[in-house]
Every structure is written in C-alpha cells, then in structure tokens.
C-alpha cells in the first residue's frame, strides 16, 4: 500500500486532530480483524506465532490484540521466543560471514523444545518456559516459568523466527501473524518520497534515543546488521502468515520528524558511513512533510511506542 504526500499534508493543515484520530481508528480496525481471526482459529490451535522486522510496532500491536481478545473472553499469555535461545557454545554456534557468532540465526534457538512446548500447550499440558540470561549467554532452568492454558486461553509466541518453516511446518494450525510497516509515501508523480524501511529506521532511532539514551550513530551503525538479519531470517517467511498487518500510520512522519530530525542532524553523515545514502535521503525528505503536534497523538497510539508518553510505556 502507499499514501499520498499531498493528501497527508492537506489533512495535517486542515484537521490535524481529526486526521490523527482517523489514522488511529484505521489501525484499530486492523486490530479488531486480527483478533477475530485469532479467536476463530482457537478451536484449531491455542498457539499464535507473531513475527516482524525491527521497528514494526510489534509490542503495541500485540498488546492491543491481547486487550481485544480479553474483551472477547479469551485470555492471552505472551511468550518471548528469545528465552528459547540455547546456551552459547563458541565451538558449535553458527557464525556470520565476518566470523562472529550469528545470534540471529535460528540455529541458536532450541527449536525442538519450542515445538514440543507448542504441542503440549495445545493438549492442555503444563510447560516450563525457560529463561535465557543474555548477560551470561546461557539458559537458566532455575528461573523457568510454568504455563498451562485453560479452555479459552491462548499463548502468543513472539520472535523473529516465529514464522520460520522449521516452526510453521510442524504447527500448521497455529494462527500466524506478520507485522511490519508496509506502506511507502508517494509524491504526485508516483515517485517514492519516504520508504517503508526509512519509517522503521526513524522509529528505531527515536525509540533508542528515548528509552536507551543512544545517539543516532549507534542505531544507524547497527541498522545494516539488523537489515541483514531481516532479509535472511524474517522476510523469506512472511508468506507463512495467515494474518498480515501493516502498522504504518499515515500521520506518523509528520509527528515523529520533530523527534527524529534533530537526532539525524547531529549524526556525522559522510559518504564513507554505512547506510549513508539511506540516511541522506531520509533527512532530505523531512521538509516535505507538514508538522503535526504531538498533542494530537492519543496515549494508546502505536506511535507512543517510539516517542513515549503512552499507556504501554514500561
């Protein structure tokens, strides 16, 4: 899908509050549709597999889906698949082309245990969810958490490998959700003004600055590796999803630019910098967008996951 730059700017100028509300309502309709599909699938499987690339708004989207399911009488339990990492063994761990341990590889995960747990949960049996300690790069069985699903309960497993063939092939009945910002912004001639990947980069940059106190240099430096992992381990499996969710909000660039532009302006942009062209084109696009004041952004809006001040802030 794509949005028109002139339509966005006209809406911001004429009715910023109404435009923000309309955009959020469109997003909430997608939440409703996703929740109903998951509910309809409950008789086939109690497992939901949720994946998407970085900066897609998976956290807020998953929480909103859970809230809607609860209103429908279905309780949800969120499980981070990162806890199924295996204890790192430098001798056998997969490595990337630079020779470093590839922590994003599916072979770093205990896929056999995951699949056994999916089957056990569907049978109504109790499992012990492991806890992976990233500081020590090892799994802790002492800190494992029990989980057993009741009649009208589901488990949402979220992770970059949730839609991998290794998992979906053995769990064909699970509800499968793919979330990403999937819309570009076009000018009146049909040329792309703002790419969907730029949208996710600016989201990540603002969030990292807000919640991790990172400078834009850090996020941009990591972005190349993030994109590499997405192309290898996420994008090839998105077609396994039964529910595809576009998290782009038409008004968000007009809001986020006020947070992102200063961060990118202080970035030492030079031709030898990795992702130089991407950052240069992104920052050159900002003046084309009308500014929409943050005061029009609802507390439960997806944008709040990145700029802060929302009801889902930890």
pLDDT tens digits for range 153-182: 999 999 989 999 999 999 999 999 999 999
- pLDDT of 41 reads 96
What is residue 188's predicted lDDT score, i.e. its pLDDT? 93
Average pLDDT over residues 259-280: 77
Question: According to the 3-state scheme, what is the secondary structure of 46-82?
Answer: CEEEEECCCCCCHHHHHHHHHHHHHHCCCEEEEEEHH
Averaged pLDDT score across all residues of the chain? 90
* Interior angle at CA 61, CA 56 and CA 149, nearest 5: 125
* Statement: residue 139 has pLDDT above 60: yes
Q: What are phi and psi of 10, to 5 degrees?
A: -60, -40
Measured CA distances, 101 to 75, 88, 89, 96, 108 (Å): 38, 9, 10, 6, 9
Tell me which of 105 and 62 has the higher pLDDT.
62
- Res. 140 pLDDT band, cuts 50 70 90: confident
| 136 pLDDT more than 60 | yes
Question: Residue 271's pLDDT is what?
Answer: 58
Query: Could you read off the pLDDT of 16-56 as tens digits, one per residue?
Result: 999 999 999 999 999 999 999 999 999 999 999 999 999 99
Taking domain 2-307, whether its CATH number is 3.40.50.300 is answered by: yes
pLDDT for residue 91: 72
| Span 174-187, pLDDT tens digits | 999 999 999 999 99
**pLDDT for position 270:** 61
| CA 312 remoteness from chain centre | 15
């Amino acid at each position: 899908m794509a949005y028109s730059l002139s339509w966005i700017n006209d809406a911001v100028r004429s009715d910023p509050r109404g435009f923000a509300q309309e955009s959020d309502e469109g997003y909430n309709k997608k939440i409703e549709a996703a929740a109903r599909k998951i509910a309809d699938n409950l008789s086939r499987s109690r497992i939901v597999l949720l994946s998407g690339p970085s900066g897609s708004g998976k956290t807020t989207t998953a929480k909103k889906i859970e809230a809607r399911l609860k209103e429908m009488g279905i309780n949800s339990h969120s499980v981070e698949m990162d806890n199924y990492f295996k204890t790192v063994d430098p001798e056998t761990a997969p490595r990337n082309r630079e020779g470093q341990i590839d922590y994003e590889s599916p072979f770093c995960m205990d896929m056999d245990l995951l699949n056994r747990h999916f089957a056990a949960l569907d049978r109504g049996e109790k499992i012990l969810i492991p806890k992976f300690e990233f500081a020590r790069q090892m799994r802790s069985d002492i800190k494992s958490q029990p989980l057993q699903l009741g009649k009208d309960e589901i488990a949402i497993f979220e992770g970059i490998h949730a839609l991998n063939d290794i998992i979906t092939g053995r769990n064909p009945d699970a509800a499968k959700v793919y979330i990403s910002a999937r819309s570009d912004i076009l000018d009146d001639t049909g040329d792309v003004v703002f790419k969907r990947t730029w949208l996710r980069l600016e989201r990540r940059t603002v969030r990292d600055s807000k919640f991790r106190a990172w400078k834009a240099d850090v996020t941009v430096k990591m972005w190349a590796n993030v994109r590499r992992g997405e192309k290898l381990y996420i994008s090839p499996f998105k077609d396994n999803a039964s529910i595809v969710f576009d998290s782009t909000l038409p008004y968000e660039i007009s809001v986020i630019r006020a947070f992102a532009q200063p961060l990118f302006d202080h970035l030492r942009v030079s031709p030898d910098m990795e992702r130089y062209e991407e950052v240069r084109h992104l920052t050159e696009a900002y003046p084309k967008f009308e500014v929409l004041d943050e005061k029009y952004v609802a507390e439960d809006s997806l944008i709040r996951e990145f700029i802060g001040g929302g009801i889902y802030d930890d």
